[in-house]
Amino acid sequence: MNTLIFLVIAFGALTITVKTSLEFRNAICISTDRSYVYFDTCILKAVNRSYKYFTMRAKFPQKKAVNNISMSFALLRKANGYKPFLYNFTIDACKYMKKRANPVVRYFHSWFEKYSTINRTCPYGPQDEVVEKLPISFVNHVATQVLPLPTGEYAFHTDWYFYGIKVAIVKVFFQIY
Ligand SMILES: *[C@@H]1O[C@H](CO)[C@@H](O)[C@H](O)[C@H]1NC(C)=O
Ligand SMILES: *[C@@H]1O[C@H](CO)[C@@H](O)[C@H](O)[C@H]1NC(C)=O
Ligand SMILES: *[C@@H]1O[C@H](CO)[C@@H](O)[C@H](O)[C@H]1NC(C)=O
Ligand SMILES: *[C@@H]1O[C@H](CO)[C@@H](O)[C@H](O)[C@H]1NC(C)=O
């Protein structure tokens, strides 16, 4: 009996792992305080059917390095509008980059770190900080092999704070099917 349940669970997990795939729908980068940061690029670009990428470029007009950054992160899932799903928390991003102790952030960070300058300890800026041509196929591989989320439409909603001042909102919409 226990063996049977185990097999059902194992096959269920296997099916999800093999079959799910991820598609990015939209990305929105909003500056809420342009004196600290703004985005000159925030696009999902489809080069052809198999090659689609995300590029984001953040500019720091104060020409000063930023040493105090926090981020609130929420995962939302669509069900009569987008509702919080599993995660909604705030972290000290500089502390995270030093210790990488938060497994949830570490996981979502792994979706883009290799294609980004957001890969080191603080400070950030004054040079541009970028996510450069992150291939969606790469995210698809990492996301669906490691954490099979149930199928559906999702969004990340991240709010960014410099020295406690809300400077930006970045939202990424994706579908798991
Ligand atoms: C899609 O574009 C990439 C980059 O230009 C290229 O390497 C790849 O061969 C193209 N794939 C198809 C199916 O045309
Ligand atoms: C996350 O939780 C905070 C505090 O409870 C709430 O104000 C915020 O609206 C939530 N974020 C989202 C995107 O639902
Ligand atoms: C961070 O990314 C940049 C740009 O890809 C790269 O030049 C640099 O070596 C990376 N730094 C670390 C600590 O991995
Ligand atoms: C970051 O700045 C905020 C607002 O000034 C302050 O409350 C917080 O303690 C600072 N964080 C660190 C780690 O210094």
| Global pTM value | 0.86
The CA distance from 5 to 3, in Å, is 5
pLDDT of residue 5: 43
The CA distance from 177 to 175, in Å, is 6
Domain boundaries, the chain: 28-176
pLDDT band at 112 (very low <50, low <70, confident <90, very high): very high
Cα of 73 vs centre of ligand 2, distance in Å, is 9
Burial category of 13 from C-beta neighbours within 10 Å (exposed 0-12, middle 13-18, buried 19 and up): exposed
Provide the β-strand partners of residue 59: 38
Q: Please tell me the CATH code under which domain 28-176 is placed.
A: 2.70.220.10
Map tokens 């500019």 to a residue.
59
Residue whose CA is closest, atom 7 of ligand 4?
Answer: 164
CA atoms within 13 A on the CB side of 133: 2
pLDDT of residue 147: 62
State mean pLDDT over 86-90: 94
Cα of 50 vs centre of ligand 3, distance in Å, is 26
Residue whose CA is closest, atom 14 of ligand 2?
Answer: 84
Closest ligand to the CA of 164: 4
Q: Where are the alpha helices (DSSP H) in 20-150?
A: 93-99, 103-109, 136-146
Which atom of ligand 2 lies closest to the CA of 88? 1
CA nearest neighbour of 170 among 51, 94, 63, 69: 69
